[in-house]
Chains A and B, each alone.
Chain A
Amino acid sequence: MKVLVPVKRVIDYNVKVRVKADGSGVDLANVKMSMNPFDEIAVEEAIRLKEAGKATEVVAVSIGVKQNQETLRTALAMGADRAILVVAADDVHTDIEPLAVAKILAAIVKEEEPGLVLAGKQAIDNDMNATGQMLSALLGWSQGTFASEVDIDGDNAKVTREVDGGLQTITVKMPTIITVDLRLNEPRYASLPNIMKAKRKPLDEKTPGDYGVDVTPRLTVVKTEEPAARAAGIKVGSVDELVAKLKEAGAV
C-alpha cells in the first residue's frame, strides 16, 4: 500500500507572528518557516506504517511556493520515499485555499492510487481544518478525522478520534483519508544519514495546470488584526489567598 502525505509549509510555531502594516495578512518575509506540526505527525505515522510492513511507499506532496521544496526535503529526511512539489504561487504570502489544494490532491490520488492519505487535521497558519474533508468529498472516500490512534487492518482502518468530551472509535473502509491530531505520535528527528540521503530521493516538480486545477482564490481577506492584549495576571501567596481572590471575582 502506498501512503500519500500532504505537507504544508507554514510559519514556524515558535515565531511571534506579526500582522502586516496594511492588515492584508501575517508578515512572512524573512521569518522562519517549517513543516506544519500536524503534517509532521502524519509523515511520522506513514513512516511507522512502512516500518511495520503495512505500507510500501510514502509519498509526500506539497503545494505552494518553490521554497516548499525545503519542507519536502524534511519529509524525505524523516523517511518518506519521494516527493511531489506543486508550485502554485510565486509570493510566499499567497495562501492556496483548501478547495484548490483538495482538487490538486484528488488529481494526484487518481494518478498515484495510494491506499491511504494521511494529512494533518489543520494547518497552524490559518486553521482551516478543511482540506482532508474536502478531499474525501471529491474522491468519494471514507474519512477519519482528528485521529489520536490509527490501526490499519486489511480492508478496514480503526480510527480513534478526539472529539469533545472524549474519544470516539470508528471503523472506516480503505482506501481512506485520515487527518491526524496532536497525540497520535511524537515525530522523530531526521537522522544524519537520512538527511544526507534526502537529496538523492526523487522530487518531481509540477504546476496546478498539470492537474487542470485553477487556484485563483475564492475568498477575500477583509482584514487581519492582532488579538487584543491580555491583562496581566497576579501572583498569589497561598491557597487561601487564591480562594479569597476567586470569591472576590465571583468565580467560586
Chain B
Amino acid sequence: MHFGLSEEQEMIVSTVRSFVEKEIYPHEAEVERTGIVPHELGLRIKQKCIDLGFYACNFPEEVGGAGLSHMDFTLVERELGRGSMALTHFFGRPQNILMACEGEQREKYLLPAVRGDRMDALAMTEPDAGSDVRGMKCQAVRSGGDWVVNGSKHFISGAEHADFFIVFIATGVDETPKGPKKRITCFLVDRGHPGFEVRDGYNSVSHKGYKNCILTFDDCRLPDAQVLGQVDGGFEVMNEWLYATRLTVAAFCVGRARRCFDYAVEYAAERKQFGQAIAKFQGVSFQVADMITEIDAADWLTLAGAWRLDQGLPANREIASAKLHASEMLARVTDTTLQIFGGMGLMDDFPIERFWRDARVERIWDGTSEIQRHIISRELFRPLGA
C-alpha cells in the first residue's frame, strides 16, 4: 500500500491547480452574473490548454492524447473541480467513447476532438427517459439503406459549443420473456445536419453558463457510416466507455469540496461572535472536523476507483460508491459551509451560495444517487439470486 503521489503526479496537480487559480477563478464572477462564457474567453482557455499538452489528456498517446492513467486523469479532474464548470469545459476532455471510432470516423471525429478542432457532446436523456435510458422514444428506422431519425433529447450539456454529437437512439425492439426491450444504437451527428436541430434548453441553478440544450430530430437521415460501434450495440459502447465518467463526477466533487472547505476553515477562524472566533465553539469546530473527515473519505474512495481501473480490476460498484458518496458529501459540505458563514453565506459576495447551488446537480446527473445505490446493491445481491 502506498498513499503518496509520484513527483509527476504532484506536478500535474500543482500545474492544473495554478491553471485553475489563474485562468479560471478571475472570470468566474462574470460567468455567474451573465450566464455566458464569452466566445473569445472560451477559445483562449482552450488554446492555453492545448499549448500545455493538457487538452484531451484522457486519450492515449497514439491518437494524440497524453496517455494519462485513470489515476493521473482523476487527479486532473479533481483540481478542475475547484473551478467553474462552464469555464473548465474548455480544458477539453472529449468523451472517451470516441475511441470506438473506426475508419473514416477517426479522421472526422476522434482526431479533431483530441486536437481541439471539434468539440463533442453526448446525448442520452429524453423528457420521458432519464434514469430509464432504455425507455427512450427517439428512434431510427431503416429507409433506403439509411436511418431516418425522429425524436428529441434534452438536458444536453456542452451542446452549445459542440460541433458534433454522440447520440443514443432506439433502432428496434426485441420481444423478451420480460416484455419488449429496445435495441439501442450510438450515432455520430454533425451540427447543422439536415433534420437535426440544437435548441436552447432550461435554466439550471447549478453551474451557470454551463448550459443544457434540447436536440430535435425531424426525419433526419443518417447513413450507416455515422454509427459508432455496431448497429444495436449502443449499450456495449456505453458500458465499455461511459461508466468511468462517473468517476469524473466524484473527482469534481472532491476538488470542489476542498475549495469550499478552505473558505469554511478560514471564516470560522476569523469570524468573531460572543467575543471569540466561532471556531472556538464546538458547535462549529466539530462540523469542520466532520467535513474534512468526509472529504478525505470521498477522496480515497475516488482514487481507489481510479486505481482499480488502472489495475484492470472490476470497478463498477466501487465507482458507483465513489460517485454516490462524493456527491452527497459535497451537498453536506457546501451546506455546512454556508451555515458557518451565517447570513453572508447566502449572499453572492462570496462564492459559497454558488458552490451550494452547483452541488445540487451532482446527485442527479450521470446517474442519480438512487441509481448508484441500485448499481451497488444489484452487484451485492445478484450473485445471491436476490
Contacts and interface: CB of A to CB of B under 8 A. Distances in A.
Contacts of B380: none
B51 A73 contact: no
A193 B53 contact: yes
Interface stretch (B9-17, B301-309, B318-326): B9-17
A74 B51 contact: no
Contacts of A195: 8, 11-12, 15
A195 B75 CA distance: 14
Contacts of B54: 191-192
B18 interface: yes
A199 interface: yes
Interface in A66-107: 69-70, 73-74, 77
A222 interface: no
B167 interface: no
A190 B8 contact: no
B40 interface: no
Interface residues of B, number: 15
B10 A191 contact: no
Interface in A179-206: 189-196, 198-199
The B contact surface, by secondary structure, is: helix
Interface of A is mostly: helix
Interface in A25-80: 34, 69-70, 73-74, 77
A191 B51 contact: yes
Interface in B13-34: 14-15, 18-19
Contacts of B8: 195-196, 198-199
- Taking residues whose C-beta sits less than 8 angstroms from the other chain, chain A's interface range is 10 to 19
B26 to A, nearest CB: 14
A189 B15 contact: yes
Interface string B35-79: 000000000000000011110010000000010000000000000
Contacts of B12: 192, 195
A189 B51 CA distance: 10
B52 A73 contact: no
Contacts of B349: none
B7 interface: yes
A196 B51 CA distance: 15
B52 A189 contact: yes
Contacts of B51: 191
A173 B10 CA distance: 40
B57 A192 contact: yes
Contacts of A70: 7, 10
B11 A198 contact: yes
Given A189-B18, A189-B19, A192-B66, A74 B11 contact: yes
Contacts of A198: 7-8, 11
A180 to B, nearest CB: 19
Interface in B105-125: none
B296 to A, nearest CB: 15
Contacts of A189: 15, 18-19, 52
A192 B52 contact: yes
B271 to A, nearest CB: 13
A199 B18 CA distance: 21
Contacts of A196: 8, 66
Interface of A: 34, 69-70, 73-74, 77, 189-196, 198-199
14 contacts: A69-B7, A190-B11, A190-B15, A191-B53, A191-B54, A192-B12, A192-B15, A192-B54, A192-B57, A193-B66, A195-B8, A195-B11, A198-B7, A198-B11
The 8 closest A-B pairs by CB, nearest first: A192-B53, A195-B11, A191-B53, A191-B52, A193-B53, A192-B66, A190-B15, A192-B54
